[in-house]
């Protein structure tokens, strides 16, 4: 109750993974050469704080819906203050930006680009919570997942020789996240209609949505090869093709049975697993 609930609402595991993801991206772009302690701490803290902020604001915005569907959650149950949740979320968001502004002052060679990138991605993460009624809010989720890669790139210099690889991999991350978001939305059509959300399946229909999932799945191996063309790492090639093949298999499954919620849930979970493997491929891209 109280403080413990506020901490739980930040989804500490998810937030920590975001922090470690930002740090790992930085290491990849630095050729696995450890950065200074200050830069490493700021990178990790940025990922953690920005993710925690979006989680809190999302719970604030969803309070009314949760009061009906999930009344046991901290805000609907009255264990925490809704307004305090929003204030805490915004404070964490601002803190992530301020940290990078202070880093720019402490390390002039890094410039202000990292702080700008953090500000943009933090805004995207917060905006999603308020814009979920629009079908294109799915794209905000996809955009936010590219954050650790882009942030790690700019914090590392950015290294111009890795710009093309970063662009290709970022597009791949964006698209596969969109595919998974559509699969999730296909599962939640009934609940989303009651909540007044305009998701891709609701606006464009289940048929168009399942075709989109299949097209994205089929494009994944191609985009993986494009990213490899700008990287040349054998370890990356093997791992990213395995991840793309696994993702395509789940996309085909979701396409074949778009109304079976159990199949869609299984596909969604395994898509996430393939995306984690893709992240491992990214971490190995410098080998």
**Each residue of 107-123: pLDDT tens digit?**
999 999 999 999 999 99
The number of folded domains in the chain is 2
Examine residue 139 and state whether it is found in any structural domain, yes or no: no
Report the 10 Å Cβ neighbour count for 191: 11
At 63, which CATH number?
1.10.357
| Whether 118 and 164 share a structural domain | no
| Whether 282 and 232 share a structural domain | yes
What integer pLDDT is reported at residue 1 of this predicted model?
57
| Whether 259 and 175 share a structural domain | yes
**Each residue of 23-62: pLDDT tens digit?**
999 999 999 999 999 999 999 999 999 999 999 998 998 8
CA neighbor of 15 nearest in space, from 44, 41, 39, 36: 44
CB 176, CB 251: distance < 8 Å: no
Residue 274 has pLDDT above 70, yes or no: yes
At 209, which CATH number?
1.20.120.1780
What's the mean pLDDT when you consider all of the chain?
93
| Whether 286 and 242 share a structural domain | yes
DSSP string, 5-63: HHHHHT-HHHHHHHHHHHHHHHHHHTTT----HHHHHHHHHHHHHHHHHHHHHHHHHTH
Q: Which domain holds residue 124?
A: 1-131
| Whether 282 and 175 share a structural domain | yes
């Amino acid at each position: 109750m109280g403080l413990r609930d506020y901490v739980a609402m930040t989804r500490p595991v998810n937030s920590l993974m975001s922090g470690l993801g930002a740090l790992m991206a930085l290491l990849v772009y630095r050729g696995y050469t450890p950065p200074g302690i200050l830069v490493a701490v700021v990178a990790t803290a940025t990922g953690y704080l920005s993710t925690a902020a979006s989680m809190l604001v999302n719970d604030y915005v969803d309070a009314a819906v949760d009061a009906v569907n999930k009344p046991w959650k901290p805000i609907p149950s009255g264990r925490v203050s809704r307004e305090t949740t929003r204030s805490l979320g915004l404070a964490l968001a601002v803190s992530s930006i301020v940290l990078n502004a202070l880093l720019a002052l402490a390390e002039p060679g890094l410039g202000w680009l990292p702080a700008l990138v953090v500000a943009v991605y933090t805004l995207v993460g917060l905006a999603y919570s308020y814009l979920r009624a629009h079908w294109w809010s799915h794209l905000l989720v996809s955009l936010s997942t590219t954050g650790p890669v882009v942030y790690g790139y700019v914090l590392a210099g950015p290294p111009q020789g890795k710009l093309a690889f970063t662009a290709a991999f970022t597009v791949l991350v964006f698209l596969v996240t969109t595919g998974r978001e559509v699969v999730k939305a296909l599962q939640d059509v009934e609940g989303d209609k009651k909540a007044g959300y305009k998701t891709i399946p609701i606006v464009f229909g289940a048929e168009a949505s399942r075709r989109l999932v299949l097209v994205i799945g089929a494009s994944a191996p191609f985009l993986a090869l494009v990213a490899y063309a700008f990287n040349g790492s054998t370890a990356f090639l093997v791992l990213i093709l395995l991840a793309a093949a696994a993702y395509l298999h789940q996309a085909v499954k979701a396409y074949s049975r778009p109304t079976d919620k159990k199949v869609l849930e299984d596909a969604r979970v395994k898509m996430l697993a393939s995306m984690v493997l893709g992240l491992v491929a990214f971490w190995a891209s410098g080998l």
